[in-house]
Structure 1
């Protein structure tokens, strides 16, 4: 059975609770946000973002929409089902986007169905024309990019969806080594807890740092993070502490099949190659080129252990020149060839899938 969250009822209750009380009726919202929920949207990103607003909007934990106001918008008022099955009932029809400071599009499963409706798409286009701030949570930036709303803007995409984004938008270069990106009147975040930090950024901008810290503290999040904080990425054998090193490693992970030169990685990160090498040597005790090889070898071992792909195909997928190159580097690292290593793993209990 699908659960349904009736936000209309909760909003009416909120309005009732904000009747004149200790002067609250005289306080006008300083931050107004409208939400567009894509089919099969990610509930956690939406709920986390809203909770930061909720906790900043009122004193204590009263949940009254005093300093902040938010509404789920819809062309037809039909409930929207999230990827986990919970349905959210909209509160208002689309109307004029200029009544909001920001319109936030919450994405979900990339192949989750028809995507935004024609009415929702037109509403976002109208909002852009009216210079209303547009934000994409999780894969919400995909919906915005499909409408051309991210053309000429930097955008944040989760490392998990980095290749999906490149496959669909080959002329854009997404940022997948930061938790969120703010580029003029476009905002985007990688999803998960980064939605809380993007919401806290807006609360800080419109209500002040104290309100942002209060919200995150109640949610048991230590402190607001800047947008350039590195995303948690794929599991690594390496354990970097330096944010610059971590971002470089994430870039390497995202380009396994066609490794970038160290000079290119440094340039993309806005530093010189020598500076990047110094940070690697200080943090990990190895140069970035060695770290790149270790990352690609780790991926090769995973593919050898859990798939039946040939060594030639694995070499191609992990950025080695050919099978001979992979075999040579693998033998130097493991003391055996990839085929013998796979055979040993199989004999000890692991089997390809």
Structure 2
């Protein structure tokens, strides 16, 4: 009888000298851990068969000037893997952003490294608010970039001449990549895995992370809570544009132009999906925000009118009474009375 004992595996390990995807990361001080972790986990699961986590098909490195740990906004610390070196050894370099205010930002050495990467035509990317860092260095000039709806106004305030995309989960514009943060980082990573390794591997990675399927970059961002449950992607993107400009509502013609369609086409899509025209949807969104502010804050009606895009308090009171049958102040009193009884 032959020996039934398991013999040790003496076959050579898989060739790790030629990964198909090589990514370097620069972590900004107080970076967002979730965006970094979900992106890296897609790479980790795509790099090996099963859940082996060996960096075979792709590799990733956290880069540093001094090898000191970098603290995330949640206070966790990440140890760098290696010093900056030659950016051309990577297929992509991503900046992982975090808190916009209160941190020192990227160092001058990081800035020099990123500019060298751009000169070497290494594609650059920003995860979460990482695109802010790239834009501050002039590396997003003449590029489209993705910014979370939550930071849309912050971006406009700092970069007046740029118009960020805040109605998509990620944007790939030539050799610049950016995403809105959170789980969108996983979908951007899956996009790269699909491009360099294969769609089946990308789907496997997402499935293990309990994400149903890859999403394309033009998938609308989950925005502020909406009363209007739109199914049409064009309508959802228009609604998000309305949400992102509550204080200074955009004309419907401007929204249509920004979405690359005519006003009449946008109106047809709204009527077919929601049964109301875009202008009525804009009013309903602003009234929903006004009700929320009446319930959860002590702001005056005048202040709420300013923050929700009404001309003045009288305008808000008139529109509110037409919708609710009572004035905003009386609605607030009744809402607070119901809460006190609960």
Q: TM-score, normalised by structure 1?
A: 0.91
Cα distance change, pair 26–192 in 1 and its aligned pair in 2 (3 A)? closer
Query: How many angstroms does 1:347 deviate by?
Result: 2.8
In the alignment, structure 1 residue 257 sits paired with structure 2 residue 247: yes
Query: How many angstroms does 1:343 deviate by?
Result: 2.1
Q: 1:166 aligns with which of 141, 156, 162?
A: 156
SS in 1 for 2:60: strand
1:124-181 deviations in Å (ceiling 9; x for gaps): 1111111101010000011111111111110000011111111111111110000000
SS in 2 for 1:150: coil
Query: How many angstroms does 1:283 deviate by?
Result: 1.3
Q: 1:307 aligns with which of 297, 300, 313?
A: 297
Query: How many angstroms does 1:345 deviate by?
Result: 2.2
Question: When the two structures are aligned, how many residues end up with a matched partner?
Answer: 332
SS in 2 for 1:241: coil
Query: How far, CA to CA, are the matches of 1:321 and 1:90 in structure 2?
Result: 52
Cα distance change, pair 250–46 in 1 and its aligned pair in 2 (3 A)? same
Alignment RMSD (CA, Å) = 1.5
Query: How far, CA to CA, are the matches of 2:300 and 2:31 in structure 1?
Result: 38
Residue matched to 1:5: none
- 8 A contact 1:74–1:92 mirrored in 2: yes
Query: How far, CA to CA, are the matches of 1:34 and 1:173 in structure 2?
Result: 27
Query: How many angstroms does 1:20 deviate by?
Result: 8.6
In the alignment, structure 1 residue 102 sits paired with structure 2 residue 103: no
Query: How many angstroms does 1:330 deviate by?
Result: 0.4
Query: How many angstroms does 1:315 deviate by?
Result: 1.3
In the alignment, structure 1 residue 89 sits paired with structure 2 residue 79: yes
Task: List aligned pairs for 1:108-147, cutoff 5 A.
Answer: 108-147=98-137
Residue matched to 2:139: 149
Task: List aligned pairs for 1:155-194, cutoff 5 A.
Answer: 155-194=145-184
Query: How many angstroms does 1:110 deviate by?
Result: 1.0
Structure 1 consecutive aligned stretches of length 4 or more whose deviation exceeds 3 Å = 19-23
Q: 1:241 aligns with which of 213, 231, 236?
A: 231
1:194-253 deviations in Å (ceiling 9; x for gaps): 000000111111111111111111111111111000000000111111111111000000
SS in 2 for 1:348: helix
Q: 2:270 aligns with which of 280, 289, 294?
A: 280
Query: How far, CA to CA, are the matches of 1:348 and 1:45 in structure 2?
Result: 40
1:87-114 deviations in Å (ceiling 9; x for gaps): 1100100001011010011011111410
Residue matched to 2:29: 39
Query: How many angstroms does 1:23 deviate by?
Result: 5.7
